[in-house]
């Protein structure tokens, strides 16, 4: 394992640049604690409650759909995470090796939108949580407290985020298990097992939600593994990320489902959690609040790196440091707080609808990213080219990737069933959204066919001495 040439600072000084081998540190198990703790949070709990409240599934079918969706989607996030130690750069910067220097801006925009959306949703939840714990605190002040705390963690950066989540794994994991024990140790409603039932649309919607939940993290997953030693390999980061991400989200979704079924029908999700867990309720609310803040730091961190990546695309010789992270964090904080303070009562439900709609743009990107890294280039990229003004061997635009990406989006549209758009074939399975499946089935082979010829040409150019 490479030795560190100096003590790692608490405040991260890297942004979108390459992490030198001498500065690599940590172990694969850090990825388990990061992704497990991150997903023991109110937003996945609230979403889990929707399985019965919105999709009308009962306990058995709901749990099966939750588990299947996250186990399938977890493969994507784990494969993305395992790229970090090999590349040593953020995920969005790496996309230049697939889409070209300027072509990568396509996915950077959508990634930034996702991060900011999650950040706003979580500061709204943080504000509600603070009010629930201390009713005398005004909602605007609660939102600002939650937002400022997350921003402080995001500014400090990588090392502090990992440390908090190592602690959070034990604390939040234990608290959630205690909540399950409390609920099942007390009387349950007569319809606990029979409320809801099976319907294909609801079941497939829950599976799709689990898949997109995991895929939604993939544009920034390797941001949190890029400091690991380069010789750590692929398998260990993959397993650690997969187990952490899937176990954490399955537990949280299941907890939301169980809490919703353990309280009268129609009870708001977090109110249901507090009622169903009795004396543990206030403790869980405090822990959830702390975890919202910790988790939300990842969203801010990802948003900042995406914006820096966008700016640095047009300024190849610029290497931004901590001052830029602080300034951008402050700008994002201010804008998101304005939106959060004006958010409607059903903002969270609307946001979940947006996340499902974003499946249309994330699936083609994830398909291209994984096929390119694992099948075509087999993890071998020219890092110097990724930072060159003209894109080096990857060019300014990789038309093969861009064409495959847009076709991957277009073929999904007829099958899409989202809050933003409903396609003409959206009701093939009683309203279930199958667009993600079509996107995968088309984008993966299409990009492979296009890129194989492109990659052969690049390899020939390298052998002839046109690239470093």
Q: What is the pLDDT of residue 158?
A: 66
Structure tokens at 199: 């319907």
Q: What is the pLDDT of residue 1?
A: 34
Q: What is the pLDDT of residue 431?
A: 57
- Residue 262 reports pLDDT greater than 60: yes
**List of residues 6+ apart from 82 with CB closer than 8 A:** 222, 225, 234, 235, 237, 238, 241
* 287-327 pLDDT per residue, tens: 888 888 887 888 888 888 888 888 888 887 877 777 887 88
Structure tokens at 197: 């039932």
* 159-208 pLDDT per residue, tens: 777 778 788 888 888 999 999 999 999 989 999 999 999 998 889 889 98
Q: What is the pLDDT of residue 327?
A: 87
Contact of 156 with 10, CB cutoff 8 Å = yes
Question: Reduced to 3 states, what is the DSSP secondary structure of residue 197?
Answer: strand
Q: What is the pLDDT of residue 225?
A: 92
Burial 427-465 (b: 16+ CB within 10 A, else e): eeeeebbbbbebbbebbbebbbebbeebbeebeeeeeee
Task: State the CB neighbour count (10 A cutoff) for residue 354.
Answer: 15
Name all domains of the chain by residue range, CATH numbers in brackets.
Answer: 21-463 (1.10.4160.10)
Contact of 14 with 142, CB cutoff 8 Å = no
Give the HSE-up count for residue 468: Cα atoms under 13 Å, Cβ half-sphere.
9
Q: What is the pLDDT of residue 468?
A: 43
Gap between the Cα atoms of 199 and 210, Å rounded: 17
Contact of 303 with 125, CB cutoff 8 Å = no
Q: Which of 30-44, 177-191, 216-230, 342-356 has the highest mean pLDDT?
A: 177-191
Share of the chain above pLDDT 90, in %: 38
Task: Work out the average pLDDT over 233-258.
Answer: 95
Cα 184 to Cα 18, 177, 178, 326, 402: the distances in Å are 49, 11, 10, 46, 51
Question: Reduced to 3 states, what is the DSSP secondary structure of residue 276?
Answer: helix
Element (H or E) spanning 462, and its range? helix 435-463
Instruction: Output 341 or 353, whichever has higher pLDDT.
Output: 341
- Residue 337 reports pLDDT greater than 60: yes
* N-term to C-term CA, the chain: 26
Question: Reduced to 3 states, what is the DSSP secondary structure of residue 417?
Answer: strand
- Residue 155 reports pLDDT greater than 80: no
Q: What is the pLDDT of residue 336?
A: 86
Share of the chain above pLDDT 70, in %: 90
- Residue 99 reports pLDDT greater than 90: yes
Helices (H) then strands (E): counts for the chain: 18, 0
- Residue 416 reports pLDDT greater than 50: yes
Gap between the Cα atoms of 98 and 398, Å rounded: 7
Q: What is the pLDDT of residue 352?
A: 65
Q: For residue 348, what pLDDT band results from cuts at 50, 70 and 90?
A: low
* 365-401 pLDDT per residue, tens: 999 999 999 999 999 999 999 999 999 999 999 999 9
Determine the distance from the C-alpha atom of residue 248 to the mean position of all C-alpha atoms in its chain, rounded to a whole number: 13
Give the HSE-up count for residue 181: Cα atoms under 13 Å, Cβ half-sphere.
8
Instruction: Output 340 or 194, whichever has higher pLDDT.
Output: 194
* 420-452 pLDDT per residue, tens: 788 888 877 665 678 888 999 999 999 999 988
What mean pLDDT value characterizes the chain? 85
């Amino acid at each position: 394992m490479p030795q560190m040439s100096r003590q790692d600072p608490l405040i991260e000084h890297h942004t979108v640049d390459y992490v030198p081998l001498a500065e690599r540190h940590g172990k694969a198990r850090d990825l388990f604690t990061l992704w497990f703790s991150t997903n023991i949070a109110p937003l996945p709990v609230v979403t889990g409650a929707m399985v019965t409240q919105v999709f009308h599934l009962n306990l058995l079918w709901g749990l099966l759909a939750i588990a299947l969706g996250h186990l399938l989607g977890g493969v994507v996030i784990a494969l993305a995470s395992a790229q970090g130690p090999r590349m040593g750069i953020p995920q969005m910067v790496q996309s230049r090796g697939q889409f070209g220097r300027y072509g990568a801006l396509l996915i950077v925009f959508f990634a930034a939108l996702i991060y900011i959306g999650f950040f706003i949703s979580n500061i709204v939840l943080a504000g509600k949580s603070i009010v629930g714990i201390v009713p005398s605190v005004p909602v605007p002040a609660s939102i600002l407290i939650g937002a400022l705390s997350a921003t402080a963690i995001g500014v400090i950066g990588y090392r502090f985020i990992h440390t908090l989540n190592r602690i959070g794994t034990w604390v939040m994991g234990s608290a959630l298990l205690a909540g399950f024990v409390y609920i099942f140790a007390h009387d349950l409603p007569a319809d606990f097992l029979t409320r809801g039932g099976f319907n294909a649309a609801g079941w497939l919607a829950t599976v799709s939600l689990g898949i997109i939940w995991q895929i939604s993290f993939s544009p920034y997953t390797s941001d949190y593994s890029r400091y690991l030693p380069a010789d750590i390999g692929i398998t260990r980061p993959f397993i650690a990320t997969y187990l952490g991400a899937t176990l954490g989200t399955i537990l949280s979704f299941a907890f939301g489902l169980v809490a919703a079924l353990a309280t009268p029908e129609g009870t708001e999700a977090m109110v249901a959690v507090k009622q169903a867990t009795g004396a543990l309720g206030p403790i869980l609310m405090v822990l959830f609040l702390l975890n919202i803040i910790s988790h939300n730091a990842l969203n801010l961190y990802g948003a900042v790196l995406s914006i820096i990546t966008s700016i640095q695309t047009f300024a190849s010789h610029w290497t931004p440091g901590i001052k830029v992270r602080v300034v951008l964090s402050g700008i994002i904080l201010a804008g998101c707080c304005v939106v959060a303070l004006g958010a409607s009562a059903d903002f969270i439900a609307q946001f979940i609808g947006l996340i499902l709609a974003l499946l249309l743009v994330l699936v083609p990107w994830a398909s291209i990213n994984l096929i390119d890294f694992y099948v075509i280039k087999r993890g071998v990229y020219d890092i110097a080219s990724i930072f060159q003004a003209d894109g080096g061997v990857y060019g300014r635009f990789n038309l093969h990737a861009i064409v495959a990406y847009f076709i991957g989006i277009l073929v999904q549209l007829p099958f899409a069933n989202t809050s933003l758009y409903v396609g003409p074939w959206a009701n093939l399975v009683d309203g279930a959204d199958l667009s993600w499946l079509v996107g995968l089935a088309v984008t993966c082979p299409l990009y492979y066919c296009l890129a194989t010829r492109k990659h052969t040409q690049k390899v020939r150019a390298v052998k002839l001495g046109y690239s470093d």
